[in-house]
Chains A and B, each alone.
Chain A
């Protein structure tokens, strides 16, 4: 398997622009997670899905952030409008809920977002 795929790997945009980050989880995995990593706050869970349904979005910082999972092989995280403080590395991770292995998360390489 190719692992979790994220695109783009790097994104530079201007404040106020819309940003869309994309994720393809590992085939067969039924959980998908979006994280944000910054030096100040470390690794933060933004939202997670189970079987394409959003379960907990309490980590989404503001209404400017939204996430969707239209099918089992694709998810997006959108920021509109973007602000400089959104600059971070955004990770997508997936897992399979087969017993204890559901706790083992597989991470993508991340998208480094810079908002100027």
Chain B
């Protein structure tokens, strides 16, 4: 049973930089997992931020960036703003038509 791991919570100061990660319970995340990232505020549908590791979705500010850091996928927010306070989810393609979401990270901006 593959588990995708994310930090349950994170805190960043306004204007600060934060990096959220997305790992595997066993093994390393690579570009072949096509990691993507989604932002969700309470009561709303998810919004696509990053796909294929590091491509920003249309309309997403360039303060959001994606990468592979070590053995994990990463989402970096540079110059955090108050409205970045949300839940963030990564999802990995595991092959054979199977996708697995991480448990999500609750980001607080204060």
The judgment on whether A and B are partners is no
Q: Which residues of B contact A (CB under 8 A)?
A: none
